[in-house]
Homo-oligomer: A and B are copies of this chain.
Amino acid sequence: MSRCPFSTRRGFLGASGGALAAPLLTKAGKAAVPGMTAAPASDMSDGGAIPFFGKHQAGIATPQQTHLVFASFDIIAQSQSDLVRLLQDWTQAAAIMAAGDLVEPADGNASKPPTDSGTVRGLGPGRLTLTFGFGPGLFEKDGKDRYGLAAKRPAALVDLPRFNGDQLEPAYTGGDLCIQACADDSAVAFHAIRQLAHMAAPNDAADGYGGKKAGATLAYNAKPGVATLRWLQTGFLPDYPAGETPRNLFGFKDGTENPGRPDPAEISHGKTIGNGSLGEAVWVGNEGPVWMQGGSYLVVRRIRMALQHWDNTALDFQESIFGRKKVSGGPLTGGGEFTPLNLDATDADGNPVIAENSHVRLGAASTNDGARILRRAYSYNDGLKMIAERWPPWRQGLEYEAGLIFVAFQRDPRTGFIKIFDRMSKFDMMNQFTTHTGSAIFACPSGIAKGGFIGADLFT
């Protein structure tokens, strides 16, 4: 079938200026036919492509890919219209890349910088999803309503409070915009972020080498740019078969309690997670502004895990902390991974089998007035770092700068992550082994219709 990812390229070209008047080439070098309608038969059509357009943004209910590149941006646009042009061009480029194509014009003028870095030339889509979110700074920053949007800030897009134990580093915190890139190939995810960041960046390269000036690129290249990267974080998951809950760096299964999780026997690679309870827990409904209906709020936390300390901790204590068995993932009260917790069960001494300060009890919907969030976390491994732990045995020295990029989607963070984590941050036994070093919150707008663009309804 056609690789042409959208039916309205001409419309986009109009919005983007003339830089793309030449036909786009697919990776295979075939010219895509303008005006052709892409009609994917299923999530798995087109060699592992996840549809970019739809009711919801991809990358939320999509079963997790094995690699993450999370990018947070500062917006530096001088006007709302510049920002809108970027979002239109990002939409176009994201759809092209999700279909497995490169973002490059057919003319390939060798005296200009390539429109696309070409680092994944010849690769397939790799189940790439690009999920866009708006941070508080889009609406108001340093007390300024930079883009005339302050009145449109949703009540649910709160500033996250300071939680107990937070040791947030500015280098991994905040942002006015985010893009979550996920793919089954780390190079594909990074390529996409790099391409989108390049389109948004100031273009100050009066490149003297060879006497070449930086030329027009796809989309927005006017100085001084629209957005610059603020922080960037890679993540990964072990490549388990579809439907199996992946293990985190503590060796435990992570995500068993996710809402909307279909029967593992039914899930198939690339198939969207069933909508069972997602409507209640994840998708914004009529209570939100139109541009957020069908969208979701993203909370990201960079959580360092004291792996050396953990590896010297007894298995039964590890399991007490989680409240689950390590190998099976089943509750300490018995059964398999998906057996419900029995929070009332006590041992011979009358103590709860699943401890009061265990991770699973503190996170359970039943102890949080029914609050549920969709976890979409990745492990990260950034090498070593000099670290002074804040818990016994108070290790100091080179330790793993590794842990969890916790990503959670929810309908309302006030009754989602904040509700759940406020108590966890105070009482969870696991805190002895974790330190939150990064944090941000974003409003991920509803899905994008063909011909539309990211967050279009916010700007009407």
Contact status A326-B212, CB under 8 Å: no
Q: Could you say which of B121, B207, B228, B402 contacts A314, with CB atoms under 8 Å apart? A: B207
* Interface bracket on A: 35 or more
Q: Is A205 an interface residue (CB 8 A)?
A: yes
Closest to A399 in B: B229
Q: Does A22 contact B (CB under 8 A)?
A: no
**A233 & B383 in contact (Cβ 8 Å cutoff):** yes
A318 near B: Cβ within 8 Å?
yes
Partner of A312, one of B214, B236, B327: B214
With A118-B251, A120-B247, A249-B119 known as contacts, the answer to whether A379 contacts B187 (CB < 8 A) is: yes
Quick one: which of A276-326 are within 8 Å of B by CB?
307-320, 326
Tell which of B206, B207, B239, B320 touches A187, judged by Cβ atoms closer than 8 Å.
Answer: B239
Q: Is the CB of B118 within 8 A of A392?
A: no
For residues 190 through 221 of chain A, which have their beta carbon under 8 Å from a beta carbon of chain B? Answer: 190, 194, 198, 201, 203-210, 212, 214-215
Would B231 and A384 count as touching, CB distance under 8 A? yes
Q: Mark A157-190, 1 if CB is under 8 A from B, else 0.
A: 0000000000000010000000000001111101
Contact yes or no, B117 A311, CB < 8 A:
yes
A382 at the interface (CB under 8 A from B): yes
User: In residues 112-131 of chain A, which contact B (Cβ within 8 Å)?
Assistant: 112-114, 117-123, 126
Q: Which residues of B contact A316 (CB under 8 A)?
A: 110-111, 210, 212
B-chain residues with CB within 8 Å of residue A214 when the two chains form the complex: 312, 314
Residue of B nearest to A392 (CB): B208
A251–B185 CB distance below 8 A: no
A226: shortest Cβ distance to chain B, in Å?
Answer: 15
Q: Which residues of B contact A384 (CB under 8 A)?
A: 171, 229-232
Chain B residues near A228 (CB, 8 Å)?
398
Contact for A209 among B185, B205, B247, B317, CB less than 8 A:
B317
Q: Is the CB of B113 within 8 A of A315?
A: yes
Of A185, A238, A310, A393, which is in contact with the most chain B CB atoms at under 10 Å from its CB? A238
Chain A positions near chain B (C-beta within 8 angstroms):
66-67, 69, 108-114, 117-123, 126, 171, 184-188, 190, 194, 198, 201, 203-210, 212, 214-215, 228-234, 236-240, 244, 247-251, 307-320, 326-327, 379, 381-384, 392-393, 398, 400, 402, 432
- 11 additional A-B pairs beyond A118-B327, A209-B432, beta carbons within 8 Å, are A111-B315, A113-B312, A113-B315, A114-B251, A114-B318, A117-B250, A117-B251, A119-B248, A120-B247, A228-B398, A232-B384
